[in-house]
Structure 1
Amino acid sequence: MTRSITPPLLDTVALVTGAGRGIGRGIALDLARNGADVALVDVSGDAIAAVAEEIAEIGSKTTSFVADVSDRAQVFAAVDHAASALGGFDVMVNNAGIALVGPIMEVTPEDLARLWAINVDGVLWGIQAAVAKFRELGSTPGEITGKIINASSIAGHEGFAMLGPYSATKFAVRALTQAAAKEHAGEGITVNAYCPGVVGTEMWVEIDKRFAELTGAAEGETFEKFAATIALGRPETPEDVAGFVSYLAGPGADYMTGQAGLIDGGMVYR
C-alpha cells in the first residue's frame, strides 16, 4: 500500500526577498517543493518572473513584487501584497543582501551606507513588516503565529579579512535575530537566522573577481582556496542552504528561536 505524505509546508504562505537568483531562488523553490505558496520579492522583475514560472511548474501558488528592501515602505507593501494575493502570511525570509570586498582602510561612507541599508536595514524592515502582519492576522494563544528567518553568514560568526564591513552587517543580523526573538516570543513568533559559507552563486563570482583585483590572484583561485577548507569536501550549493531554511519554516523548528545556524559544510565551528 502506498502511503500519502503531506508536504510539511502545505497551507503555508512564505515571502522571500532577493528571490531572483542564487540562494534566494533556491529557497523559494525548496519552500514550494515542500508545499508552501511563495511570494517572490526582488529589485529585478525579470529575475523573479523566471522563478515564478519554475514555481508554477512545481504546482504551488506564487506572486511577485518588485521592491528595494532598503526602503521600509516598499517592504511593508510587499508583505501586504503577499498576504492579499496568497490569502495569508506565515513565513518571512529576509534573504536579500550584497557583499563588499576590500581593505577596511578603503571603505567609503557611500560604500558603507549602501551595504548597511540592504543587509541590515532591509532585515529590520522585514522583521517589522512581518510582525505587523502577524498581529493583523491574529493568533491563537499557545500556538506559533509566524516565523521570521534572516540571512546571516559564516561572516556573522567570524570576521574575515577584506570582508570587514560585510562581516559587521552579518554580525548585526545575528543581533537583530536574537533581540527580535526575545521581544516577540510571547506572541508566538519565532526568529532565526541561517549562516551559509562558500556558495557557488553569482555573488561569490563577484567576490572572487574583486579578490583577484586586490591580490593579483587568478579568477577562481580565491573561491577554490576558501572551498578547500570545507570539511565535507565540496563547495556549497543554494539547495544546501534552502533545505535548512525550509526546516526553519516548518513545524519541526517550532521550538527553536533566536538561533543563527551555521550551514557551511564544516568551515566555522561554534
Structure 2
Amino acid sequence: MTPKLIGTVAIVTGASSGIGRATARALAEHGASVAVVARRRDRLDTLVAQIEAAGGTAHAAVADITDRTQAARAVAEIIERFGRLDILVNNAGLMLLGPVHGADVGDWERMIAINQNGLLYMTHAALPHLLEAAKDGPREVADIVNISSQAGREASANFGVYNMTKFGVNGFTEALRQEITQSHVRVGVLEPGAVDTELVSHNNQAIRDELASSDAIPEPLQPEDIAESIAFMVTRPRRASIAELWAMPTSQA
C-alpha cells in the first residue's frame, strides 16, 4: 500500500521529546517529509538521524517559538528546504501546576508564551502555505492539528492557568476551523488524558509528589498512542475532517 502522505511536508513543534517525537516518526512512516521544531538541537539531530535511517526524510529547525520572529524564521526555513507545507502539528506545551494564591507569575507567563503564543505564531506563519497546499497539492487538502488536553475540557483545582491556556486552544481551534475549513484546510484539536511524557517533570518536587500520591491511572497513554491519533486525523480522505478527538487511558475516569 502506498503511504498516504507521500509528497507532503509536515511541521511538528515540541519534537524533541514525548508526543512530538513520536508524531514526527509516525508521519514520516506515512510518507511525509517532516520538519521537527524545538530548542534542543542535539535531540532534534538525533531524531532526524533516526527518521532518515528508517528511510524517511526529515529536517531540524531549531527555534524558540515563543519568539514570533524565530517562529516565522523556522517556517521560512522549512519552506526553503522543502518548497511547500501541508501539515502543521502544534504540539509544544508546558504544564506548571499549583494554587493561584501565591503562585509564581513567571510560571504563568511561560505557559501562556508556549501553549498559546507559540501556537498562534506558528499558525500565523504557516497558514498562507497551508492554504496554498490545499489548492495545489497531492491531496488537495491541508491540516492543522492543535494538541490541547483533557484540561481544555474540564477545570481542576491547581490547574487554573494551565486550564486557561488549553481552554483557549480549544476555542481558537474551533474559530479557525469555521474560518478556513471550506478552503480545505482542516483544523482539529486533540485532547489527551494522562500520557507518559516529560510534562509533569517540569513541576517542583512537591507537585510531583502530590500527583504521584493521588495517581489512580495505572496505565497512562504512551506518546505513540497520541501519534497514531494525529496520523489518523491527517490521513482522512479530503471529504472527511476530524474537528475534535478526545483520547483517554482506559483506566482514567
Task: Please indicate, yes or no, whether the TM-score normalized by the shorter chain is above 0.5.
Answer: yes
**Residue 243 (1) aligns with residue 201 (2):** no
8 Å CA contact retained: 1:150, 1:177: yes
Deviation at 1:117, TM superposition (A): 1.0
Write the distance in 1 (CA, Å) between the matches of 2:189 and 2:57.
25
Residue type of the alignment partner of 2:64: D
8 Å CA contact retained: 2:134, 2:183: no
Deviation at 1:50, TM superposition (A): 1.0
Instruction: Give the secondary-structure state (helix, strand or coil) at the position aligned to 2:101.
Output: helix
Q: 1:98 aligns with which of 94, 99, 113?
A: 94
- The aligned counterpart of 2:111 is 115
Structure 1 residues 226 and 206: CA distance shift in structure 2, 3 A: farther
**Residue 53 (1) aligns with residue 43 (2):** no
Which one is further off, 27-36 or 77-86?
77-86
Residue type of the alignment partner of 1:56: E
Which one is further off, 179-188 or 238-247?
179-188
- The aligned counterpart of 1:256 is 241
> Over aligned residue pairs, what C-alpha RMSD do you find?
2.3
- The aligned counterpart of 2:29 is 33
Residue type of the alignment partner of 1:106: G
Pairs within 5 Å for 1:111-260? 111-135=107-131, 139=135, 144-207=140-203, 209-212=205-208, 215=210, 220-222=212-214, 225-228=215-218, 234-252=219-237, 254-256=239-241, 259-260=243-244
8 Å CA contact retained: 2:217, 2:252: no
8 Å CA contact retained: 1:22, 1:201: yes
Structure 1 residues 210 and 118: CA distance shift in structure 2, 3 A: farther
Deviation at 1:102, TM superposition (A): 0.6
Deviation at 1:114, TM superposition (A): 1.6
Deviation at 1:106, TM superposition (A): 2.5
- The aligned counterpart of 1:81 is 77
Write the distance in 2 (CA, Å) between the matches of 1:27 and 1:212.
26
What is the TM-score with the length of structure 1 in the denominator?
Answer: 0.85
Aligned-pair identity (%): 32
**After superposition, what is the alpha-carbon deviation per residue over 1:70-101, rounded to whole angstroms, capped at 9, x for unaligned?**
11221122112222212321000111011111
Write the distance in 2 (CA, Å) between the matches of 1:92 and 1:100.
25
The answer for unaligned runs of 5 or more in structure 2 is none
Instruction: Give the secondary-structure state (helix, strand or coil) at the position aligned to 2:230.
Output: helix
